[in-house]
Structure 1
């Protein structure tokens, strides 16, 4: 029987305060206990400590990393993670002061860390600089200091990797006794390791070993592991020719939490949309709520496709638009327009729509809710798509109605999206004669774009979308969001 599923953690919600409000990496509610049962007892034959007071495994040291790579230990890294700014915001901050390294924007101060991340800082009651969240009056983060002879900052007392004490690899503590080795284990250099669930029906050249005390990894458990105990994630084991012996890959399979990849490659999506997307991506990759070897490898391949902008063997996993449910359009009635009802925007629940965070738009935009001109509307939505990795086909002439045609490098689907403005939960779709619609569209888009759409349609790879601006009342103040949904036309 599968272990009881952990309660889902609340996804972060984005700020609507405007372009000066930075959006940090989505927070976990608090630093959780490790994802194994601390009361579990191991038999002495395993050679591992047991009981609730057993010491946790030591931090892994990856020998292939440069000696100058910074480290502050697992607790320090975890405590700073929640203060990291999104790169989309950090990239538009002023340059660092040539003396202090501080980047000043209005009344706020920011510094670049030696890790490559950026955080907001402020002085505490003792006039020490600390990392700060934008929502805080006083800074709550670790104390920071500028590195000697550099404009970069680091956590006070942090050590570089050549200064850090050498500890035994965490992987050594994962060894299990042959007497307790179940069928889901592998032997490497005479030592036995438990493996992440594998597809028994297929022989795989890459599997993953894990700490035997870890439970099966559902999305929340795996994200907590990557957020707070990155070095304790499963490791890949690879078969090496010519004798196909197994060896452990010392590299970490994942450099950041899964939602961190969504933040990097879809930077303008709202935080709750990114979280829902990452959860759905995890479930689809593993074809389950729990991780297996095939799913972990698939996720790594997808993230490499994003990085390299290469075609993917798993197109649905590369694009949140391909994950959206298909929404029905009302039946056509004589004398009336059709309509499509939008799902309610919500910080929780399944991925039903894509929402964009206006505070992250480049350039910052406070006027987008009142865009009235169709050309400007199309230009505005084109900017949103291009900023998030899509390629938009050029329009040849002025539009009879606003729309965009676009695609991604990672797959060969083509998206056709009509643009709408609405102040309700419904999109009104005017009645158009199909023959007139085709002629108007061909004149507007041109033969090249229309031929690409027709070819995609014949291959069942033309996706119909509706997107635009939805303005709804919120605490007596209208709140606008930029959305995309998928329909059944």
Structure 2
């Protein structure tokens, strides 16, 4: 089961009636590099903020100064914490955790480490502070440094405990601001303000510091609350309503750079912005466009893809969405919508972006010398190159069993199990051993897939006999896939929605054996064309 989506950092200040935010996406948890803060426990105050995905050693901290405090001012300590997502576990750690306790919801890893799942997504390490309150903590904490946590009554999930904002006896609070160093420019005068408190905007909203340098002010950009921001390229649709502001220190975002940012510091990714009526001013979406690296989205919904296939699918999807190698406004919005469609099971407006099988190129086949069969050469299984095939990882137990049988029915059952685990609906396989094949579909688009199954034990060539008689095609397909599947095929073929695939097992001499799927032009074989 995929983890739930993480808590959305920040809060929107737009009207509930404003059609502003894109639906958020992201089942698994997000993670971040440690923020640049001094480890001084609960009373620490941020004095420097993160600007780039790469951490640098702390520079000289500007002094804190308190001046002109009226004698009657009521001072109370304000505890400042990093946002809860700062404490989320990395996705690759989640699979090693035990199941939650049936009463407390706590995942106990030995006697020293305890973890909890949060109500709105994410998993954190749990600690107990000096006052016996539960708090989120980091592995490096000598004592818990995160916000207080509490279990949601009647569930196995936890949440951040609301803080007590009451001051008692006075409505005045003290705001501490950082005085600039002499080389930072004019200094700020610090004075008490009523009904205000120290906040962690530098943690949750680093984009507020992404003002464009003066020498780049003439470049295409937008202004939000008096700050000028640089934008990503618009893409193929110049009228696209959503733009993305970027850190001016980031030049361009190709797939590799985007993945590096999403894998190290999510807060440094481009942020969406849109005009908000009635004033039609620009506002930045407080929600993160992506909650974790792009490859992790694919791994969540297509969990058996091999690492090689996963990398190629993610890179190919990025290129399709952006109509090229570089991120654009249109491309990032397409990706966000695709991931949201996966999460909610919505019908997708861009099926080739949402289904790896539709991303596969159609491989050419050729007629063998005797003229009685057609052959297809499987692409070489290598990490380099474009997406040509999909390969799937099996458990050792599954693969060991599969190698002991040569039954066509077993081959169908194995492939049906793999497809089911990738979210496809497979028509019930027939008991026939002859020419094993399956028909299946996916609920978020209208395409129907027919896959013929093969064992490739020598080389990489698949031989497919040509049809011997058009009048027998109906009977053969009915035997292969069953009557309900055949009717689905006929309807899809008539509407040009039928996709032809080949798959099965391939035994390699110098590599691990694999289960593969490729796309071909099997429709020219005459099966359905001659019905």
Count of matched residue positions in the alignment of Structure 1 and Structure 2: 390
**Corresponding residue SS for 1:472:** coil
Within 1, Cα distance between the matches of 2:409 and 2:424? 19
Within 1, Cα distance between the matches of 2:125 and 2:56? 35
Structure with larger Rg: 2
Q: Partner residue of 2:420?
A: 386
Within 2, Cα distance between the matches of 1:71 and 1:151? 13
Residues 384 and 237 of structure 1: CA distance in aligned 2, closer, same or farther (over 3 Å) = same
Deviations 1:53-105 (A, max 9, x none): 8989x9xxxxxxxx9963547xxx7xx6384355xxx59x677799995568x
Residues 327 and 200 of structure 1: CA distance in aligned 2, closer, same or farther (over 3 Å) = closer
Deviation at 1:318, TM superposition (A): 0.5
2:432 to 394, 398, 413: 398
Deviation at 1:372, TM superposition (A): 1.8
Q: What does 1:191-230 correspond to in 2, within 5 Å?
A: 191-199=227-235, 202-230=238-266
- Contact 2:235 2:322 (C-alpha < 8 Å) held by counterparts: no
- Contact 1:95 1:103 (C-alpha < 8 Å) held by counterparts: no
- Contact 1:316 1:322 (C-alpha < 8 Å) held by counterparts: yes
1:317 to 350, 353, 365: 353
- Are residue 176 (structure 1) and residue 212 (structure 2) matched? yes
Within 1, Cα distance between the matches of 2:515 and 2:434? 22
- Contact 1:406 1:416 (C-alpha < 8 Å) held by counterparts: yes
Deviations 1:219-277 (A, max 9, x none): 00000010012111011002222333221111110000000101100001111211110
Tell me the TM-score normalized by structure 1: 0.70
Residues 103 and 454 of structure 1: CA distance in aligned 2, closer, same or farther (over 3 Å) = farther
- Contact 2:212 2:228 (C-alpha < 8 Å) held by counterparts: yes
More displaced 10-residue stretch of structure 1: 444-453 or 292-301: 444-453
Residues 154 and 382 of structure 1: CA distance in aligned 2, closer, same or farther (over 3 Å) = farther
**Corresponding residue SS for 1:467:** strand
- Are residue 271 (structure 1) and residue 307 (structure 2) matched? yes
Residues 485 and 427 of structure 1: CA distance in aligned 2, closer, same or farther (over 3 Å) = same
Deviation at 1:462, TM superposition (A): 1.0
2:145 to 144, 159, 168: 159
Deviation at 1:179, TM superposition (A): 6.4
Tell me the TM-score normalized by structure 2: 0.65
- Contact 1:70 1:114 (C-alpha < 8 Å) held by counterparts: no
Deviation at 1:440, TM superposition (A): 1.2
Deviation at 1:428, TM superposition (A): 2.1
- Are residue 70 (structure 1) and residue 84 (structure 2) matched? yes
**Corresponding residue SS for 1:419:** strand
- Are residue 147 (structure 1) and residue 127 (structure 2) matched? yes
Within 2, Cα distance between the matches of 1:147 and 1:356? 39
Q: Partner residue of 1:480?
A: 513
2:221 to 178, 185, 190: 185
Q: Partner residue of 2:12?
A: none
Q: What does 1:71-110 correspond to in 2, within 5 Å?
A: 71-72=85-86, 81=90, 83-84=92-93, 101-102=107-108
Residues 181 and 151 of structure 1: CA distance in aligned 2, closer, same or farther (over 3 Å) = closer
Query: Which structure 1 segments of 5+ residues have no match?
Result: 1-24, 26-30, 32-47, 59-66, 119-143
Q: CA RMSD in A?
A: 3.7
Within 1, Cα distance between the matches of 2:333 and 2:399? 39
Within 1, Cα distance between the matches of 2:473 and 2:114? 54
Within 1, Cα distance between the matches of 2:208 and 2:57? 16
Deviations 1:183-224 (A, max 9, x none): 420122232111111148622221111111111100000000
Deviation at 1:451, TM superposition (A): 2.6
